[in-house]
């Protein structure tokens, strides 16, 4: 039996399939999303054998995978359950048949949407509740309150978020609250709650973001730090939390908008619905996204983020669909509109700066826009990631690596992580660090296996390591994904630094890619 929005409780565990998180008590576990999908299938059929085919369908969507892939995921699931005595045996292996859940009784409840006392704003809305001080020391309240203040300030800088002021949320301090009730009382969709435990120089901060309309978890994280400078520690954790929360809310909003009727979409909804295709970077999806973005701009010609996203689309089409001058010109045109209308929008400025730097070849103007974005939202991971790509192609290797690492620290699971790894791969290659370049390229391929440029970096690194057969296989994958790829034209398109073009070009020629 499959029940769409259920939360499953069994023993000390709680599975939230919508958020993709398994909790032990109130603590999120490190269980991956595939293992979560398998666990859900087993819990829905508790006590009943589940075939290997059914589990592969649940975890891999019907892709052909080797049996050991399923075995590895089941083993990971058992390791997490083994935190409880005998819990590893809750999943029974049925030789040649599949698996069966035989643990404690499973309780499933469907979180029903609750009505709001206040009308929700027309953009994502969030309230950050006071964090609980679990230190047993009232003197530590200042640390917990300072942490919340910093998170509220960081979130409030994000233009597309509606954030409830501190004075309203601190009315809940010291009270046991129901998150759905808080959502109704404050008129917000998302509620962030958390706790702080400080002992000496060691601090543990946990946080979780909940969709108040459904009770589903949107984000959860735990930060363990040690520092003598308590204020620097507050800043670091708050910045990391804001950097991770923002893309999590964006993903939740995209999922919500997908459920709306196409004829009911406004400009904001259209941009959200286009987002996943924009992030793909590949021509077919990009073309689909542009249809939605052009509708959004028709509805709101001054919508900066719509222009910024359209600029990114035309950039991707320029590099991967024939280097047509019309796409380059459109990228720059939309980027200028994004800057004109988005002086207070970090995301729009970031996308605009990237297009101006990559397609307009004006890196000074690009970093003026990127630095303006960081002044508005210092936790903008995308700004650092896309900035690292510009720096990488400019041959500024060490700074490219620094920016990429900062971006990934702010948002470890960002959809643009592959681009940060690409920046690292080309930068390490330029500096002669071929093992590091290869490692970064492999991580880029893992993050986005459908993107041609990831295999370009991998092919070059493998050549430098003398692994020619593997390099030729990576080069073949480049041409499979991007048949018109010519590295000389690619380098001209992004204004590649001469030293990098020489090093990279020599390797790609050896791998068999055409100039």
| pLDDT tens, per residue, the chain with 515 residues | 333 456 888 888 888 776 677 887 766 777 777 888 899 999 988 888 898 888 888 887 766 667 778 888 888 898 888 877 677 789 999 887 889 998 888 887 644 443 334 677 767 888 888 888 887 777 677 778 877 888 887 887 777 778 887 767 877 777 777 888 888 888 888 898 888 887 777 888 888 888 888 888 888 888 888 766 667 777 777 777 787 777 777 777 777 766 666 555 688 888 888 888 888 778 888 999 999 999 999 988 999 999 999 999 999 999 888 788 999 999 999 999 999 998 888 889 999 999 999 999 999 999 999 999 988 888 788 899 999 999 999 999 999 999 999 888 777 667 788 999 999 999 999 999 999 999 999 999 888 888 888 899 999 999 999 999 999 999 999 998 888 889 898 899 889 999 999 999 999 999 999 98
Give yes or no on whether 7-109 and 379-515 have one common fold: no
Contacts of 174 (CB under 8 A, 6+ apart): 130
DSSP labels, 38-86: HHHHHHHTTTS-EEHHHHHHHHHTT----HHHHHHHHHHHHHHHTTSTT
pTM score, two decimals? 0.64
All structural domains of the chain with their residue ranges = 7-109, 125-243, 260-378, 379-515
Report the C-alpha gap between 351 and 253 in whole angstroms.
Answer: 20
212 and 157 Cβ atoms separated by less than 8 Å? no
CA 287 from chain centre, in angstroms, equals: 22
Secondary-structure class of domain 379-515 per CATH = mainly alpha
Report the C-alpha gap between 300 and 314 in whole angstroms.
Answer: 19
Contacts of 122 (CB under 8 A, 6+ apart): 266, 268
Architecture of domain 260-378: Alpha Horseshoe (1.25)
Q: pLDDT tens digit string along 167-222? A: 678 777 777 778 888 888 888 888 988 888 877 778 888 888 888 888 888 888 88
Tokens (6 digits) for 434: 């071929």
- Fold designation for 125-243: Rossmann fold (3.40.50)
Tokens (6 digits) for 16: 């939230």
Q: Which helix (H) or strand (E) holds 372?
A: helix 363-376
Q: Which helix (H) or strand (E) holds 162?
A: strand 162-163
- Fold designation for 7-109: Arc Repressor Mutant, subunit A (1.10.10)
What's the Cα-to-Cα distance from 85 to each of 78, 94, 104, rounded to whole Å?
A: 12, 22, 12
């Amino acid at each position: 039996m499959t029940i769409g929005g259920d939360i499953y409780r069994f023993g000390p565990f709680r599975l939230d399939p919508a958020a993709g998180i398994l909790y032990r008590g109130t603590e999120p576990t490190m269980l991956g999303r595939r293992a979560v999908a398998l666990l859900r299938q087993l819990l829905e059929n508790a006590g009943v054998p589940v075939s290997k085919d059914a589990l592969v369908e649940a975890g891999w969507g019907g892709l052909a995978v080797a049996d050991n892939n399923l075995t590895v995921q089941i083993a990971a699931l058992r390791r997490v359950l083994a935190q409880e005595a005998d819990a590893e045996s809750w999943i029974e292996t049925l030789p040649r048949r599949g698996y069966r859940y035989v643990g404690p009784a499973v309780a499933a409840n469907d979180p029903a949407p609750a009505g709001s006392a206040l009308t929700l704003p027309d953009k994502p809305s969030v309230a950050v509740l006071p964090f609980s001080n679990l230190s047993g020391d009232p003197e530590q309240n200042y640390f917990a309150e300072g942490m919340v203040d910093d998170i509220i300030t960081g979130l409030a800088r994000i233009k597309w978020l509606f954030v409830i002021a501190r004075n309203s949320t601190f009315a809940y301090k010291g009270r046991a609250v129901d998150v759905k009730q808080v959502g109704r009382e404050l008129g917000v969709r998302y509620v962030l709650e958390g706790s702080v435990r400080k002992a000496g120089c060691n601090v543990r901060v946990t946080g979780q973001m909940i969709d108040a309309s459904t009770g589903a978890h949107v984000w959860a994280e735990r930060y363990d730090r040690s520092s003598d400078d308590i204020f620097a520690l507050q800043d670091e954790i708050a910045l990391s939390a804001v950097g991770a929360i923002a893309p999590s809310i964006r993903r939740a909003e995209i999922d919500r908008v997908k459920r709306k009727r196409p004829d009911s979409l406004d400009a904001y909804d259209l941009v959200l619905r286009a987002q996943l295709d924009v992030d793909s970077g590949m021509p077919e999806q990009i073309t689909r996204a542009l249809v939605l973005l052009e509708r959004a701009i028709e509805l709101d010609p001054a919508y900066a983020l719509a222009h910024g996203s359209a600029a990114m689309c035309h950039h991707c089409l320029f590099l991967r669909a024939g280097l047509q001058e019309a796409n380059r010109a459109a990228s720059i045109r939309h980027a200028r509109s994004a800057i004109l209308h988005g002086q207070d929008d970090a995301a729009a400025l970031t996308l605009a700066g990237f297009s101006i730097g990559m397609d307009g070849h004006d890196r000074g103007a690009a970093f003026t826009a990127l630095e303006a974005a960081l002044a508005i939202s210092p936790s903008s991971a995308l700004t650092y990631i896309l900035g690292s790509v510009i720096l990488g192609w400019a041959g500024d290797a060490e700074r490219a690596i620094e920016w990429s690492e900062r971006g990934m620290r702010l948002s470890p699971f960002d959809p643009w992580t592959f681009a940060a790894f690409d920046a690292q791969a080309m930068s390490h290659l330029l500096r002669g660090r071929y093992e590091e370049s290869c490692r970064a390229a492999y991580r880029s391929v893992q993050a986005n296996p459908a993107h041609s440029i990831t295999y370009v970096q991998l092919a070059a690194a493998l050549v430098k390591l003398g692994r020619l057969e593997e390099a030729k296989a990576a080069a073949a994958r480049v041409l499979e994904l991007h048949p018109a790829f010519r590295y000389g034209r690619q380098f001209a398109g992004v204004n590649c630094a001469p030293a990098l073009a020489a090093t990279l070009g020599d390797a790609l020629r050896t791998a068999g890619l055409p100039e």
